[in-house]
Amino acid sequence: MMETSKRFTFQNDNADHILEINKLEVIIPEIVDPQYGMFTWPSAPVLAQYLFHHQHVIRRKTILELGSGTSLAGVVAAKLGACVTLSDAKQYTNCLQNCRKSCEANGLNDVNIIPLTWGKVTPELIQLKNIDFIIASDCFYDKTDFEDILFTVAFILKENPHAVFLTTYQVRDCNLSIEELLYKWQLKCIEIPLAEFNADNTNSLIGGDNMSAKHLIQMFQISK
């Protein structure tokens, strides 16, 4: 396995809030490995940029990241003042270790990291309290995981009805859909236009990197 790291830079020259951070740099360790959860996929910078542009909303809020992997979005949220919990499947010990490396690389000592396997009711899931936002990037990759993801999201939203699930994903197959599963778990979904936070594909750099602009990325907000 080859270890490397990538630097992402999020910048807003038009910040109109006195407490807003105008520029944020984070370093994300990556491992080139068949376990693809340790690579920063193109939808992750898009989600991170959304959080950066809405930092006044997420500051001091409690955020859970699902399928964290390299944890770009979660790390950005933590650097912006959110109370963040990173998670990945219990069996993916390498991914959980990579979450720790991402936190260490960015000087974050108070981020909680837990094993959380989609589709299973575990003590870690039950113990989650007072969640304001659930976030995930590119978790809707393998169709066999779709229902497990939405089961976990629905479980958390039932216990935290004020919360919302923010997710980005790379469109690979237009025939894949979660519409029936949303109906089954009594969830509603709205699309968030990427242009609203300068992450549309006409923008060549997202997080200081152009890989997101090379792919079709969509973002959704899911709630009860």
Please report, for the domain that includes residue 125, its CATH number: 3.40.50.150
What tens digit of pLDDT does each residue of 1-19 get? 667 889 999 987 665 555 5
| Total count of domains within the chain | 1
pLDDT (mean) for 45-52? 96
Element (H, E) at 70: none
pLDDT (mean) for 199-212? 77
- Domain holding 213, by residue range, is 2-10+19-223
- The answer to whether residues 31 and 82 touch, using CB atoms and an 8 Å cutoff, is no
Alpha helices in 19-145 (DSSP H): 43-53, 55-58, 72-79, 93-105, 123-126
Q: Is the pTM of this model over 0.85?
A: yes
- The answer to whether residues 28 and 105 touch, using CB atoms and an 8 Å cutoff, is yes
